[in-house]
């Protein structure tokens, strides 16, 4: 069995082996079987020993990224509908333009983190939506008066 010191943690021993490894992204995970790599017995570091294992791990991470985008889009759609907003209304209210929520919900684009945070806040406290709408309307009126 081949071994060497782990350069990541400097405490463990790396062992050359073939094992399944877990590709993880947030709450999502996918097992990648039979990966030939160096495994640290102390910190869990993995260094791929061949291109096949690295490519399969990369493919798994790409699949998880696509899955995360779909789930994020579904969550955004669920919240928007719960608030009884059209995609156009949501885009005008939260910014991004009239097509923004269409792109968010299809996973083509990620909304700014502040938009997601506000959506989740309104999901928990929908009674705040009229206040947000009022603030947005006041701001738009102020901009229209400045430009005119």
Span 1-71 CATH architecture: Roll (3.10)
Residue 85: count other Cβ atoms within 10 Å of its Cβ: 19
Q: What pLDDT, on a 0 to 100 scale, did the predictor assign at position 142? A: 66
* Segment (H or E) for 60: helix 51-82
The answer to whether 108 touches 70, Cβ cutoff 8 Å, is no
Q: According to CATH, what is the number of the domain 83-148? A: 1.10.260.40
Residues of the chain with CATH 1.10.260.40: 83-148
Distances 82 to 108, 131, 136 between C-alpha atoms, Å:
22, 17, 19
Dist. CA 148–CA 135, nearest whole Å: 20
Overall pTM surpassing 0.85 (yes/no): no
Q: Residue 119: is it exposed, middle or buried by C-beta count within 10 angstroms (0-12/13-18/19+)?
A: buried
Tell me where in the chain the CATH 3.10.20.860 domain(s) lie.
Answer: 1-71
pLDDT digits (tens, 9 = 90+) for 96-109: 888 999 999 999 99
Angle between helical axes of 113-124 and 51-82 (0-180°, round to 10): 50
- Cα–Cα distance measured from residue 71 to residue 105, given in angstroms and rounded to the nearest whole number: 9
**In which band, very low, low, confident or very high, does the pLDDT at 143 lie, cut at 50, 70 and 90?**
low
Task: Give the residue carrying structure tokens 């463990």.
Answer: 12
Rounded to the nearest integer, the mean pLDDT of the chain is 93
Q: What pLDDT, in 10s, does the model give residues 47-96? A: 999 999 999 999 999 999 999 999 999 999 999 999 999 999 999 899 88
């Amino acid at each position: 069995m081949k071994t060497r010191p782990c350069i990541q943690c400097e405490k463990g021993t790396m062992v050359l082996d073939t094992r399944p490894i877990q590709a993880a992204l947030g709450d999502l995970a996918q097992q990648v079987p039979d990966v030939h790599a160096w495994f640290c017995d102390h910190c869990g570091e993995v260094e791929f020993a061949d291109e096949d294992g690295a490519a399969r791990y990369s493919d798994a991470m790409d699949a998880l990224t696509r899955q995360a985008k779909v789930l994020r889009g579904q969550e955004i759609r669920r919240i928007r509908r719960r608030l009884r907003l059209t995609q156009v209304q949501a885009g005008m209210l939260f910014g991004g333009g009239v097509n923004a929520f269409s792109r968010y919900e299809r996973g083509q684009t990620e909304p700014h983190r502040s938009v997601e945070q506000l959506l989740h806040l309104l999901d928990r406290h929908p009674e705040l939506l009229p206040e947000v709408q009022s603030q947005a309307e006041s701001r738009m009126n102020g901009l229209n008066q400045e430009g005119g």
